[in-house]
């Protein structure tokens, strides 16, 4: 498994993020664990503001986090 496998499994946007990283070990690692866990989808998070917003929104939407009054801040409670 390698970059070809990732191209098959990831949507075009996510694949293009990974393809920019020229590291065959990373490609093999991702391929191995995507194959093992068989997720419905894979999201590759960069350091862009759009990605930060999306990850925060997904956590709030799923109930994993709650928004705070401070803009762009959330709280996450474990085992409470």
Distance CA 67, CA 60 (A): 7
Radius of gyration of the chain (CA): 16
pLDDT at residue 58 in the model: 93
Site of tokens 């401070």: 70
pTM of the model: 0.75
Work out the number of other CB atoms within 10 angstroms of the CB of residue 11.
Answer: 11
How many Å separate Cα 8 from the centre of its chain? 17
pLDDT at residue 3 in the model: 93
In order along its 80 residues, the chain shows pLDDT tens digits of 789 999 999 999 999 999 999 999 999 999 999 999 999 999 999 999 999 999 999 999 999 999 999 988 999 887 65
pLDDT at residue 18 in the model: 96
pLDDT at residue 80 in the model: 59
Burial of 44 (0-12, 13-18, 19+ CB in 10 A): middle
């Amino acid at each position: 498994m390698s970059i070809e496998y990732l191209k098959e499994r990831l949507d075009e946007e996510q694949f293009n993020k990974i393809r920019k990283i020229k590291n065959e070990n990373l490609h093999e690692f991702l391929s191995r664990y995507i194959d093992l866990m068989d997720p419905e989808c894979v999201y590759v998070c960069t350091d862009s503001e759009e990605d930060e917003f999306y990850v925060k929104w997904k956590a709030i939407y799923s109930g994993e986090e709650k928004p705070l009054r401070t803009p762009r801040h959330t709280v996450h409670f474990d085992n409470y």
